[in-house]
Structure 1
């Protein structure tokens, strides 16, 4: 095994040298952003005391957008545009963006894209004219685009289903993002924009997920929108969406809301008021519904979040711990054999871990260990921290990392800070180094405290963990990971691992690796700006997910219950939310649409009823098996550790795991960014360590936690008291 591990880094080095010696044509080089525009002033919605309480301004753009013309470029109320901004109209199969300058700002636009022979100008805002496309569904369920010449002969098209399934999609740009309106039509409506005899007057807003840091317009293909919601469209629903509502491209929930509002307004100006609008979307597309539903009115009437989290910021609290812990297990406590047993890692990480579960990037561990002067070893297991979040910490948090694909020229890359926090520049202040402040903090966090209290780790191990775990370095000290791409940019090889170069450490065992204290003003702004889900939401919610813990997938169960606890904390109940979980072979989304339809129509017909009163009696918390059979349903089926009750039948069938901050005795609602501190002596006196006697280690603990330890009985130190 050792011989193999020694050969691997040598082979990688040879491959890298061969790769660097070969000619390489970058597929993005001819359409990179080459110049950065200056943002013009634009109205930004006030956020005091909370963005949900701020009145939105009257619309200034005259909707509908005329065919052949462009939608608004400036947002209505989400502040100045972000630059640089990479155009993705070509990726969306709608051609090049319109030229809007000759100063070299943005991406080049060519006279003939295929030949790339003459640049006729540049596009900094990526605008495209509104246009229509028509499709039919082939026998093998492929969407085939129809040309105008085929309209008259549509019934004679080869492979067409009978009766023929026809669809219209409109696309264009609103707030610089690509919007789509899709619905089923009849043959008589081919070529028409607003005829809609098939539409059932019900509207779906499709949200989408992914990890994004801004700076991109986003890809949106009409065929994907139609295919994703094909059963609903065939039932008569209309579907609207925007690349601005896919979190792969931005987690700025104010621009996401502003964009969704305008896309819906454009739809209404063409087709009239729908009976209702229901949101659907997974992962980031789920949390976007929670936040837009909380922060605004008039966009969504009901939510079907899938694989959701309450919000992105809360997720960073524990996911940015992942690399700290992996770094600790791999490098800082390498000699402790306990951490080579993957079930033991769960004591600190909380999220699921599995022995003998293969790692796609397992070979990187011995490479990194060799480079650190250590005896290399292959991991014999895996965790959600690795399988779900590898690479995301540096992408989200490190301003020097940026995109692996070369969307931007080297000059632009050098002058831009590339992380999630920069996408929050409209909301958070900049520090003395010009970097946008971060809300992430681990000052006073006692990693592994729950395991210590349960006597699953020793006091010595607890002290060692908290002494050496460290934190992320200040942003201005961070540097990009060491990455090579011998197999192309879709298969990068990380020579550095777990962000080890960007994590605080010490040169001597007697020292303590520094922790990070976040700026209170950033946390306060996050709450006020609606980037945190605080539970102020009174819309129907059917929270749907597959059980993915056994796959070590990042979409973990506990997130749904975190949202529920926040709803309960804010409103005294969570009767407007039901949680459905199924095995992967069964998708309950169709049933969710049917139940949501009954719920929303009851509210429409009987407006005096509350959301809870209008909820169908049969609509309850449920867990399904792989065939769609109900395992259990009812009020208590999901009870468990998260609400300190005896485990319900669904919780027994589908285990709910925690995370690193819960393992540090933090709350399950997961909304404490910066804990309030008390001294170690006070913590001992108040029973924080249970039956474990740590008095003999008081001086050492005081050295590690010089400013105190987290008192999770109290609220977030950064949460404003007037929201």
Structure 2
């Protein structure tokens, strides 16, 4: 991007990442960019609005343990691993690590086939050359979260677990819950408005276009209510509204057990009349006038949803594809943009196995079978039905123990 002014560069970054501006990606790196580091590290932080990066601070690890106890591929390959997947190894299971003789947790991160900046290029925000260069150089991470030229690849078994266990939130399950999505403004941070709409899109997709169990309350004053008036209008109101909603549900659709399942229709029927979508416009600093016209809300400069890098890459709003299925490159997909023969050859070299086919389900994507228990090991099993009490048999053991064990054998399966 030589020869461009910093505002021009920032505009291109914004086009690629889909956010309000370039600062959102900076915030993600600085807040969570090192969560997967398994050993000791010095964080490399974004240090100014232009995106310059530098090591900042003393060495640390995510376990907050003495450095000598923590994994190091050369000096302590069997030390405690502190990356996010490793902290949940009981859920994911383990596999062979990079260091000889070491183990690591399975992980779901993957960017194989993702065409970063695709929609930005088609819209003219970046050039075909910038698009090709971006995807040539973006690379990924290895299993120890070190940057590398190759893309990041997920462990396939972890993808299955993520979907089965509902770690990727299921629209079917979300549709069974009363939801008040209270969404403040943090578009230069990490709490983006589009996530409320992604949640809604998942519910719609699993419930024939119905999202009546979810309402959105948007406001642009800040991430959280900051004054007593704002807290009364949002925080207190949401608690009281949800209390009424749940109280209605307990009467109209009582649950036999804690894990009994309600239908979306039950949740919608119990919804209070004031549980509706609304926003407080940015000029309404005391949150005095709820606005139910979503067109007015969307037109407010601090209330529209933006997007994510994966959505700009052609991915769906539901954001539930961890690893995409691939399809061959096709020049028709880039119209009206045209690549030179040299650029096309470079793009083919970058995506030798193909690019994301977002029209297909993700690799390993399936219906959630949650709630699961991981008491018997990684991967999880369906919870059995609740135990049934019987009179004592006189042989020193209650029959409900047998029933519980048998139920585990017969109900440990998912919905496919």
TM-score where L is the length of structure 1: 0.41
2:266 aligned to which of 580, 587, 610: 610
Contact 1:524–1:718 (8 Å) recurs in 2: yes
1:693 matches 2:357? no
Distance in 2 between the 1:406 and 1:525 partners? 24
Superposition pairs of residues 138-157 of structure 1, within 5 angstroms: none
Contact 2:327–2:354 (8 Å) recurs in 1: yes
Consecutive unaligned residues in structure 1, runs of 5 or more: 1-332, 354-381, 479-501, 505-512, 638-647
Per-residue deviation at 1:597? Answer: 2.3
Superposition pairs of residues 667-706 of structure 1, within 5 angstroms: 667-680=316-329, 683-684=330-331, 687-694=332-339, 696=341, 697-706=343-352
1:633 matches 2:319? no
Q: Which residue of 2 is the match for residue 569 of structure 1?
A: 205
Q: Which residue of 2 is the match for residue 430 of structure 1?
A: 94
Contact 1:679–1:709 (8 Å) recurs in 2: yes
Per-residue deviation at 1:612? Answer: 0.5
Change (3 A) 1:699 1:405: closer
Consecutive unaligned residues in structure 2, runs of 5 or more: 42-59, 72-78, 98-102, 255-264, 368-414
Per-residue deviation at 1:521? Answer: 1.3
Change (3 A) 1:616 1:672: same
Q: Which residue of 2 is the match for residue 348 of structure 1?
A: 16
Q: Which residue of 1 is the match for residue 192 of structure 2?
A: 556
Contact 2:18–2:312 (8 Å) recurs in 1: yes
Distance in 2 between the 1:666 and 1:432 partners? 31
Superposition pairs of residues 71-220 of structure 1, within 5 angstroms: none
Contact 1:339–1:345 (8 Å) recurs in 2: no
Q: C-alpha offsets along residues 499-521 of structure 1, whole Å, 9 cap, x if unaligned?
A: xxx322xxxxxxxx321221221
Q: Whose Rg is larger?
A: 1
Distance in 2 between the 1:534 and 1:604 partners? 23
Distance in 1 between the 2:155 and 2:186 partners? 35
Q: Which residue of 1 is the match for residue 180 of structure 2?
A: 542
Q: Which residue of 2 is the match for residue 503 of structure 1?
A: 147
Distance in 2 between the 1:409 and 1:611 partners? 49
Contact 1:631–1:650 (8 Å) recurs in 2: no
1:384 matches 2:24? yes
Distance in 2 between the 1:627 and 1:698 partners? 55
Q: Which residue of 2 is the match for residue 398 of structure 1?
A: 37
Number of aligned residue pairs: 311
Q: Which residue of 2 is the match for residue 466 of structure 1?
A: 135
Distance in 1 between the 2:117 and 2:143 partners? 26
Change (3 A) 1:406 1:615: closer
Change (3 A) 1:334 1:409: farther
Contact 1:427–1:529 (8 Å) recurs in 2: no
Per-residue deviation at 1:447? Answer: 0.6
Q: C-alpha offsets along residues 419-442 of structure 1, whole Å, 9 cap, x if unaligned?
A: 100122112232322111211111
Distance in 2 between the 1:678 and 1:695 partners? 21
Per-residue deviation at 1:338? Answer: 6.3
Change (3 A) 1:407 1:519: closer
Change (3 A) 1:467 1:339: farther
Per-residue deviation at 1:669? Answer: 1.0
Q: Which residue of 2 is the match for residue 707 of structure 1?
A: 353
Distance in 2 between the 1:655 and 1:391 partners? 24
Contact 1:677–1:707 (8 Å) recurs in 2: yes
**Structure with greater strand share of residues:** 1
Runs of 4+ in 1 over 6 A off after TM superposition: none
1:589 matches 2:227? no
Contact 1:443–1:517 (8 Å) recurs in 2: yes
Q: Which moved more, 1:444-453 or 1:531-540?
A: 531-540
Per-residue deviation at 1:630? Answer: 3.0
Change (3 A) 1:425 1:346: same
Q: Which residue of 2 is the match for residue 88 of structure 1?
A: none
Superposition pairs of residues 279-298 of structure 1, within 5 angstroms: none
Distance in 1 between the 2:152 and 2:134 partners? 16
Distance in 2 between the 1:336 and 1:445 partners? 26
Contact 2:38–2:61 (8 Å) recurs in 1: no
Q: Which residue of 2 is the match for residue 623 of structure 1?
A: 279
Q: Which residue of 2 is the match for residue 650 of structure 1?
A: 297
Contact 2:81–2:104 (8 Å) recurs in 1: yes
1:717 matches 2:363? yes
TM-score where L is the length of structure 2: 0.69
Distance in 2 between the 1:388 and 1:700 partners? 30
Q: C-alpha offsets along residues 115-172 of structure 1, whole Å, 9 cap, x if unaligned?
A: xxxxxxxxxxxxxxxxxxxxxxxxxxxxxxxxxxxxxxxxxxxxxxxxxxxxxxxxxx
Contact 2:28–2:190 (8 Å) recurs in 1: yes
Across the aligned residues of Structure 1 and Structure 2, the Cα RMSD in angstroms comes to: 2.4
Distance in 1 between the 2:357 and 2:252 partners? 46
Distance in 2 between the 1:430 and 1:591 partners? 45
Contact 1:338–1:344 (8 Å) recurs in 2: no
Per-residue deviation at 1:712? Answer: 0.7
Highest RCO, 1 vs 2 (Cα 8 Å, sep ≥ 6): 2
1:420 matches 2:84? yes
1:529 aligned to which of 147, 161, 165: 165
SS of structure 1 residue aligned to 2:291? strand
Q: C-alpha offsets along residues 566-600 of structure 1, whole Å, 9 cap, x if unaligned?
A: 11112221110101012234230111112122222
Q: Which residue of 2 is the match for residue 514 of structure 1?
A: 150
Q: Which moved more, 1:333-342 or 1:457-466?
A: 333-342
Per-residue deviation at 1:705? Answer: 0.5
